[in-house]
């Protein structure tokens, strides 16, 4: 099998290049990315422009089967919190087979939609009654199998969850499957480490939020993680809802991002998921910490979170990436679209995501999100450069929305003027073709198993 591809147009970290020869080694790592190359004999040619695969930096896989089920008014005023109550009810029924079937379909969908790796923020740990499974890692292992089967790159972030609110409020009924001691979390990480290594997945840790993890536990867990892997990624939900900002201020006198920056060694290992509500000082300090802002534009819209001040974050040089979180939408291009449109609506300007290096918004957003996503994933998935994984997407140059356009406009049309997934021809992960002619090999089989699992969950 050829471990190379020739692309008439490819999006490299510096920008668009012509006549690019990509070559990778047997482990799937790029060893050559050469622009203005001659097409060597026998090297396959891509059917369209090649763009880097997008790392999805935030996923709760099981929620894919719940998407679409809360789009009706249930109370006087529905909110993130009323959604969460329903989501807990759904999570209460989930078994290991459901988890695997849902995640297998979800990861196949992700691949078809331009994501080549995913960070799984995994917090349903225990059996329905709240007791640990005989094998405590059961549900994490189901996710690892789904990743392996579909071929998506994987970062597993087991979640520490202990309290229902600031100040050590005891967990509620709906949270019983999530709860574990810090010690048992460290045991879980120990158990998962060899499994992750065997399939080239990265293992990190996710303290769920400051609402769910008291300060002493946070410290202890971080120390334990460091002992296991001092460079492992750390993700946390931080300031998604104004209610949690208010509660944090009432508890500590500080807003959550400010509190975290003062009490934890936040640096480039960290991903601050939904850092939506920050004041000016928090934007500046959080960006300077080197942490990645984990933006989930379609979920944040779906849940009524509020809008991140993207221009301010970038003015401070902040890193960022995107995640599909609750999976109301599973589409890398659509997250960029939603991000840009949210900013346009608020600022009443256009092309907010463009930057000095790249005037094309889609190009600028894609490159930045790949870089930030790779940092959050803790894996070498930062784009088309030697030393990085050969994770890439071939746009469908024959799609009506793209046909005949210059390559940068093809990417713009893919993001802003197409049905997005349908304008993708092929997706490669670690040098292996996982999607061809827009389809993952497991598409039909995984879809059927997903539908069956969801039906069962809704019947019980």
Question: Which residues are catalytic, by number?
Answer: 274, 325
Query: What is d(CA 204, CA 193) in angstroms, rounded to the nearest whole number?
Result: 9
DSSP 227: H
Tokens of 47: 């059917």
DSSP 65: G
Shortest reach from residue 79's CB to ligand NGQ, in Å: 12
Site for ligand NGQ in 226-265 (CB under 6 A): 237, 240
Tokens 């910490």, located at residue: 289
Shortest reach from residue 411's CB to ligand NGQ, in Å: 28
What letters, b where the CB count within 10 A reaches 16 and e where it falls short, cover 229-244?
beebbbbbbbbbbeeb
Shortest reach from residue 274's CB to ligand NGQ, in Å: 6
Query: What is d(CA 316, CA 319) in angstroms, rounded to the nearest whole number?
Result: 9
Query: What is d(CA 416, CA 310) in angstroms, rounded to the nearest whole number?
Result: 19
Shortest reach from residue 175's CB to ligand NGQ, in Å: 8
**Site for ligand NGQ contains 100 (CB under 6 A):** no
Shortest reach from residue 209's CB to ligand NGQ, in Å: 6
Alpha helix (H) ranges present in 92-214? 96-112, 138-150, 182-198
**Site for ligand NGQ contains 325 (CB under 6 A):** yes
**Site for ligand NGQ contains 9 (CB under 6 A):** no
Residue 325 makes CB contacts below 8 A (sequence gap 6+) with 58, 59, 60, 63, 273, 296, 298, 299, 300
Shortest reach from residue 382's CB to ligand NGQ, in Å: 26
| Number of residues forming the site for ligand NGQ (CB under 6 A) | 10
Site track 379-398 with ligand NGQ (rule: CB under 6 A), x = hit: --------------------
Query: What is d(CA 429, CA 152) in angstroms, rounded to the nearest whole number?
Result: 7
**C-beta of 305 vs 340, nearer to ligand NGQ:** 305
CB atoms within 10 A of CB 205: 26
**Site for ligand NGQ contains 60 (CB under 6 A):** yes
Tokens of 414: 């893919």
**Site for ligand NGQ contains 180 (CB under 6 A):** no
Shortest reach from residue 2's CB to ligand NGQ, in Å: 42
**Site for ligand NGQ contains 299 (CB under 6 A):** yes
Shortest reach from residue 315's CB to ligand NGQ, in Å: 26
**Site for ligand NGQ contains 120 (CB under 6 A):** no
The full DSSP string for 230-278 is TT--EEEE-S-SHHHHHHHHHHHSS-HHHHHHHHS--STTEEEET--S-
Site for ligand NGQ in 192-211 (CB under 6 A): 209
Query: What is d(CA 149, CA 152) in angstroms, rounded to the nearest whole number?
Result: 8
The residue within the footprint of ligand NGQ, chosen from 4, 8, 35, 84 (CB under 6 A), is 84
**C-beta of 56 vs 360, nearer to ligand NGQ:** 56
Tokens of 313: 């974050």
Q: Are 425 and 394 in contact (CB under 8 A)?
A: yes
The closest residue (CB) to ligand NGQ is 60
Site track 125-144 with ligand NGQ (rule: CB under 6 A), x = hit: --------------------
**C-beta of 240 vs 309, nearer to ligand NGQ:** 240
Angle of helix 96-112 relative to helix 138-150, nearest 10 degrees, comes to 30
Strand partners, 292: 271, 319
Residues forming contacts to ligand NGQ in the complex (CB under 6 A) are 60, 84, 123, 209, 237, 240, 299, 303, 325-326
């Amino acid at each position: 099998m050829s471990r190379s591809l020739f692309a008439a147009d490819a999006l490299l970290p510096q920008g668009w290049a012509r006549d690019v020869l990509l070559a990778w080694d047997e482990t799937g790592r790029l060893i050559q990315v050469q622009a203005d190359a001659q097409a060597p004999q026998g090297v396959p040619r891509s059917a369209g422009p090649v763009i880097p695969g997008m790392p999805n930096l935030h996923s709760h896989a099981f929620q894919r089967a719940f998407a679409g089920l809360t789009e009706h008014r249930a109370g006087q005023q529905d909110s993130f919190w009323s959604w969460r109550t329903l989501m807990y009810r759904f999570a209460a029924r989930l078994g290991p087979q459901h988890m695997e079937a849902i995640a297998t379909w979800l990861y196949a969908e992700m691949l078809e939609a331009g994501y080549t790796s995913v960070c799984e923020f995994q917090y349903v740990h225990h059996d329905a009654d709240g007791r640990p499974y005989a094998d405590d890692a059961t549900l994490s292992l189901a996710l690892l199998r789904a990743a392996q089967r579909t071929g998506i790159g994987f970062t597993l972030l087991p979640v520490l969850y202990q309290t229902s609110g600031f100040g050590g409020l005891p967990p509620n009924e709906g949270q019983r499957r999530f709860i574990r001691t810090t010690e048992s979390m460290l045991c879980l990480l120990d158990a998962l480490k060899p499994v992750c290594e065997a399939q080239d997945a990265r293992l990190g840790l996710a303290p769920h939020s400051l609402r769910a993890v008291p300060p002493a536990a946070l410290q202890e867990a971080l120390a334990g993680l460091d002992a296991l892997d001092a460079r492992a990624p750390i993700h946390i939900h931080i300031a998604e809802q104004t209610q949690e900002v208010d509660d944090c201020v009432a508890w500590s006198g500080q807003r959550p991002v400010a509190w975290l920056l003062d009490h934890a060694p936040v640096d480039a290992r960290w991903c601050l998921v939904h850092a939506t509500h920050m004041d000016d000082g928090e934007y500046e300090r959080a960006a300077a910490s080197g942490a990645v802002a984990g933006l989930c534009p379609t979920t944040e819209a779906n849940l009524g979170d509020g809008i991140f001040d993207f221009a301010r974050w970038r003015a401070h040089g902040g890193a960022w990436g995107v995640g599909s979180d609750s999976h109301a939408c599973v589409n890398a291009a659509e997250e960029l679209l939603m991000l840009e449109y949210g900013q346009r609506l608020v600022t009443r300007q256009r092309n907010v995501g463009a930057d000095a290096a790249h005037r094309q918004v889609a190009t600028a957003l894609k490159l930045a999100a790949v870089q930030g996503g790779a940092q959050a994933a803790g894996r070498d998935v930062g784009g088309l450069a030697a030393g990085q994984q050969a994770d890439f997407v071939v746009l469908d140059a024959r799609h009506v929305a793209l046909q005949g356009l210059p390559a940068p406009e093809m990417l713009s049309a893919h993001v802003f003027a197409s049905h997005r997934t349908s304008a993708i021809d092929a997706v490669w992960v670690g040098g292996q073709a996982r999607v061809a002619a827009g389809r993952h090999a497991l598409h039909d089989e995984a879809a059927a198993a997903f539908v069956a699992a969801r039906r069962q969950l809704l019947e019980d």
